[in-house]
């Protein structure tokens, strides 16, 4: 894959409107696209037009999505700037995410873990990504 490949992470929810608002408010994403009753699915795609990744949340009429299957279902964002990291952590709390201890203690050393209404988790890591 080349550098122009777009990554979309998609998952279902029973709380489409609330989840979309949480992620927009917490991570500063915008609503890029939404659809209603597309083969029985409603959905919203969130992100930033300047980034090559999106989050898609869907809700299927008549089906229950349920909660996250484990406490280690994570989206991880590396934010090296301390003041930006603190600002995002504050926004995550204000938008309705619960700050929780990470299942894997590694993430608690330099980051904070937040859980959404469905039990899925987002780690805001105060580090520069390195391999």
Q: Which DSSP string do the residues of 82-108 spell out, in sequence order?
A: HHHHHHHHHHHHHTTPEEE--SSTHHH
- β-pairing, 41-47 vs 30-38, is antiparallel
pLDDT score recorded for residue 130: 84
Query: Which helix (H) or strand (E) element contains residue 21?
Result: helix 16-27
pLDDT tens digits for range 25-83: 999 999 999 999 999 999 999 999 999 999 999 999 999 999 999 999 999 999 999 99
pTM (predicted TM-score):
0.94
pLDDT score recorded for residue 131: 76
Question: Taking 90 as the threshold, does the pLDDT of residue 90 lie above it?
Answer: yes
Domains of the chain and any CATH numbers: 7-60 (3.10.180.10), 74-125 (3.10.180.10)
């Amino acid at each position: 894959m080349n550098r122009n490949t777009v990554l979309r992470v998609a998952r279902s929810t029973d709380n489409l409107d609330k989840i979309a608002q949480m992620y927009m408010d917490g991570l500063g994403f915008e609503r890029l696209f939404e659809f209603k009753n597309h083969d029985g699915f409603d959905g919203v795609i969130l992100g930033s037009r300047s980034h090559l990744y999106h989050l898609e949340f869907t809700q299927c009429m008549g089906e229950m999505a349920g909660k996250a299957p484990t406490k280690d279902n994570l989206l991880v964002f590396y934010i090296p700037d301390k003041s930006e990291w603190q600002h995002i952590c504050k926004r995550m709390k204000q938008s309705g995410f619960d700050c929780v201890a990470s299942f894997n203690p590694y993430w608690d050393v330099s980051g904070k873990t937040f859980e959404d209404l469905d039990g899925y988790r987002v780690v805001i890591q105060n580090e520069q990504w390195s391999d």
